[in-house]
């Protein structure tokens, strides 16, 4: 863990660091560029993969003690931020990125979150492919999707965007914009940025 913490960029997700992301990066680690909206970016380092039947859960660490858990590119856990998702479970298996129907797919997820320990918040999810790239620039994504959310409490999270690289046999999310609450949104990108498919 000490080595992983040292490999993470000294910038933190609270946006206190204003320096550019350092180069070169240690080739022994995988990195994510993470940015809270309106703050300076930080780099997180992959700590380990937690095997799971629906896809390995990637556990990423920041230098300030932040942790993000991603499964198939989706946030399924967080710690060290103002909102923490303690547990996320899917009641139906979300479709793989390569098999999302043109008219979209619906599924549901259950999450526990802090503060206030809100247990078993049930979100209805609508996943849709997008015709046009959602984000300009060099993201490495060649296919884009949106996810919108609703729940019985009438609380909706902002729409999430996912940029997927489908150049290889296995689809991989290389860019996303996801929110843990209505006012805590993260832009997450594989780093260094993937090369776009031609």
pLDDT at 196 over 80: no
Give a yes or no: residue 197 inside a domain.
Answer: no
Residue 154's pLDDT band, with cuts at 50, 70 and 90, is: confident
Give a yes or no: residue 198 inside a domain.
Answer: no
Cα–Cα distance, 54 to 75 (Å, whole number) = 14
Other C-beta atoms lying within 10 Å of the C-beta of residue 158: 16
pLDDT at 35 over 80: yes
User: If you average pLDDT over residues 91-103, what whole number do you get?
Assistant: 91
What digits encode the pLDDT tens for the residues 113-143? 998 888 999 999 999 999 888 887 778 888 9
- pTM of this structure: 0.87
User: If you average pLDDT over residues 96-102, what whole number do you get?
Assistant: 93
Residue 10's pLDDT band, with cuts at 50, 70 and 90, is: very low
CATH of the domain at 11: 2.40.360.10
Domain count, the chain: 1
**Is the separation of the CB atoms in 55 and 34 below 8 Å?**
no
Give a yes or no: residue 64 inside a domain.
Answer: yes
| pLDDT given at position 67 | 95
Give a yes or no: residue 196 inside a domain.
Answer: no
| pLDDT given at position 21 | 64
Give a yes or no: residue 99 inside a domain.
Answer: yes
| pLDDT given at position 135 | 84
Cα separations (Å) of 112 from 77, 85, 87, 93, 120? 9, 6, 5, 18, 5
Percentages helix, strand, coil for the chain, rounded to the nearest 5?
A: 5, 45, 50
Give a yes or no: residue 52 inside a domain.
Answer: yes
Weakest-pLDDT range from 16-20, 46-50, 138-142: 16-20
Percent of the chain exceeding pLDDT 70 equals: 86
pLDDT at 81 over 70: yes
| pLDDT given at position 173 | 94
| Alpha helix segments (H runs only) across the chain | 2-7
| pLDDT given at position 12 | 47
Give a yes or no: residue 109 inside a domain.
Answer: yes
Domain span at residue 109 reads: 2-191
Give a yes or no: residue 28 inside a domain.
Answer: yes
């Amino acid at each position: 863990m000490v080595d992983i913490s040292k490999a993470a960029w000294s910038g933190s997700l609270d946006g206190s660091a204003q320096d550019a992301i350092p180069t070169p990066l240690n080739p022994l680690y995988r990195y994510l560029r993470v940015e809270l909206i309106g703050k300076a970016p930080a780099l997180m380092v992959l700590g380990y993969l937690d095997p799971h039947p629906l896809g390995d859960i990637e556990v990423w660490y920041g230098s300030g003690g932040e942790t993000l858990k991603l499964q198939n590119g989706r946030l399924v856990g967080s710690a060290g931020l103002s909102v923490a998702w303690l547990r996320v479970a899917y009641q139906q298996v979300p479709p793989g990125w390569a098999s999302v129907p043109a008219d979209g797919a619906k599924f549901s997820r259950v999450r526990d979150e802090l503060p206030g320990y809100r247990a078993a918040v049930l979100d209805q999810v609508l996943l849709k492919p997008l015709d046009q790239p959602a984000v300009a620039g060099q993201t490495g994504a060649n296919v884009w999707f949106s996810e919108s959310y609703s729940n019985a409490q009438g609380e909706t999270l902002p729409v999430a965007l996912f940029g997927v690289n489908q150049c290889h046999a296995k689809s991989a999310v290389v860019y996303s914009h996801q929110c843990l609450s209505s006012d805590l949104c993260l832009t997450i990108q594989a780093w260094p940025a993937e090369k776009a498919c031609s």
